[in-house]
Amino acid sequence: MSSKSPQSWGRYPTVEPEQVVPLFWRNELPNLSDFTTSVLPYGYGRSYGDSCLNEGGVSLDATYLRRFISFDEEQGLLRCEAGVSLADILEEFVPRGWFLPVTPGTKFVSVGGAIANDVHGKNHHKAGTFGCHVTQFELLRSNGERLICSPTENNDLFRATIGGFGLTGLILWAEFRLKPIRSPYISVDHIRYDSLAEFMDIAADSDKDFEYTVAWCDCLKGGKYQGRGIFMRGNHEDSPAYAHKPLPKSLPLMVPFDFPSFSLNSLTVRAFNEVYYHMQRQKHVHKIESYNPFFYPLDSVHNWNRIYGKRGFFQYQCVVPFDNGYEVMKEILDRIGRAKEGSFLVVLKEFGNIVSPGLLSFPRPGLTLALDFSNHGPKTLRFLDDLDALVLQSGGRVYPAKDARMSPESFQTYFPEWEEFTQYIDPKFSSSFWRRVTPEETPTQKFKALSATPTIQTALPGNGR
Ligand SMILES: Cc1cc2nc3c(=O)[nH]c(=O)nc-3n(C[C@H](O)[C@H](O)[C@H](O)COP(=O)(O)OP(=O)(O)OC[C@H]3O[C@@H](n4cnc5c(N)ncnc54)[C@H](O)[C@@H]3O)c2cc1C
């Protein structure tokens, strides 16, 4: 039993599992059906809300399953255990000329977690989600079955597990395609833009020629400067001069304690935004930088989530379809500005139309906005419910990997496929998130239902729904 108590990155909600069980060897795993409560795999806890938490149940710590298994240099196919982190992969494979096909904004994420949330990155418009690059994985079900899942074998479980919140079983290892690169450097443009309309123009202009696009946006600026920010676009640097150039060393910073809750307020955020926006004096700056600051600017500050204080925070990421995306995004920004909520960590991006194999994957074509909100209790919760309503009306959705509070009605409308998905949930698996957004029972109720049921097949979730 490990002492590590699972937490999510937003530090809200704080819940206790009944026990944490570390998994060390693929051939020496506990019999999952022996546990008396439900189980849920846990990676590095980089989900913001409760999708990685299992209050009162068993948390299966998969981070010790951290071995590389094979690499096919011809095809760039890497097979590794599910607890291998994206940081491990970069460290080993960037020097050999390979990069991740898709990466989220932190590299401290496990391969299992990247699949279970079907994560996206700055290249969504070119490469889709992480799941688009997965060729197969092995899934352990609680009845002891070990299933190879791929587009041609157990395809239903393959699709349900990609973006399946860890509920379909434990991924033991996965195989996916890496991407060849000529250097560990990125050729980057930073473009200062004045408004949401200008953002849309630059994005439309950049999507064809740039593999990576994303913008930082000042969420508190209103009027004609609403949505202003810095647009970043980049490609892997190809020139031989950078092929063997050593990566600059950076000293990791650390937030050593929880900031007091008053330190982040609309005044400090406004001041930060003003300085950050004007720090770039020219409209257009070109530079070549190593991949770390480009993809993972926040990873250099350990425990940065502590700046939101002990009460934690909410990250809110939504996507709204292109049809009315501009108007809806303006309305969302209006409300954030009026409420004087929001933080300086605000990301705006366009998703492309590459369809993920995942049944419940979050991305869809449209405009996506991600930002943090300090937890001010009911006031913040009510405010986020209002944003949900706007997103709902627009036909968009909110990202479950970052959620700790959306209502069952919202989740079920955003993801109408959830009912189809329930048939693939392993009867022994559950999470705090799933019990919050669906009529799922608590771990103990679920266990009682299971013990009263003769075979696990007949106890498929839905659980009396
Ligand atoms: C700073 C920061 C930036 C981020 N940027 C992005 C971004 O740009 N795009 C994006 O999509 N996400 C982003 N995220 C969210 C993050 O990428 C996902 O939440 C990711 O799934 C976390 O992986 P993890 O290993 O920490 O897993 P956890 O958070 O511990 O768990 C996530 C899910 O994976 C399941 N799981 C874990 N291991 C296994 C396994 N072996 N088998 C089956 N299921 C498993 C868990 O049950 C849970 O449902 C960001 C998070 C942070 C903190």
Q: Residues 90, 96, 97, 98: is their CA dihedral positive or negative?
A: negative
Residue 455 has a pLDDT of: 36
Distance of CA 436 to the CA centre of its chain: 19
DSSP 414: H
pLDDT tens across 194-215, in order?
A: 999 999 999 999 999 999 999 9
- Could you tell me if 380 and 261 are in contact, meaning their C-beta atoms sit under 8 angstroms apart? no
pLDDT tens across 352-387, in order?
A: 999 999 999 999 999 999 999 999 999 999 999 999
Closest CA to 369 of 393, 389, 395, 398: 398
Give the number of residues written for the chain.
Answer: 465
Average pLDDT over the chain reads: 92
Ligand 1 pocket: which of 9, 38, 44, 46 to mutate (most atoms <8 Å of CB)? 46
155-161 average pLDDT score: 98
Q: From ligand 1's centre to the CA of 245, what distance in Å?
A: 31
Residue nearest to atom 33 of ligand 1 (CA): 113
Looking at ligand 1, which atom is closest to the CA of residue 114?
A: 21
Q: From ligand 1's centre to the CA of 431, what distance in Å?
A: 14
Rounded CA-CA distance 288/440 in Å is 50
The top-scoring range by mean pLDDT among 54-68, 216-230, 298-312 is 54-68
Does 105 sit in the ligand 1 pocket, CB within 6 Å? yes
As to burial, measured by CB atoms within 10 angstroms (0-12 exposed, 13-18 middle, 19+ buried), residue 153 is exposed
pLDDT tens across 229-241, in order?
A: 999 999 999 999 9
Could you tell me where the beta strands, DSSP code E, fall in 74-184?
77-81, 98-99, 134-140, 146-149, 170-177, 179-180
Does 46 sit in the ligand 1 pocket, CB within 6 Å? yes
Q: How much is the pTM?
A: 0.94
Residue 276 has a pLDDT of: 84
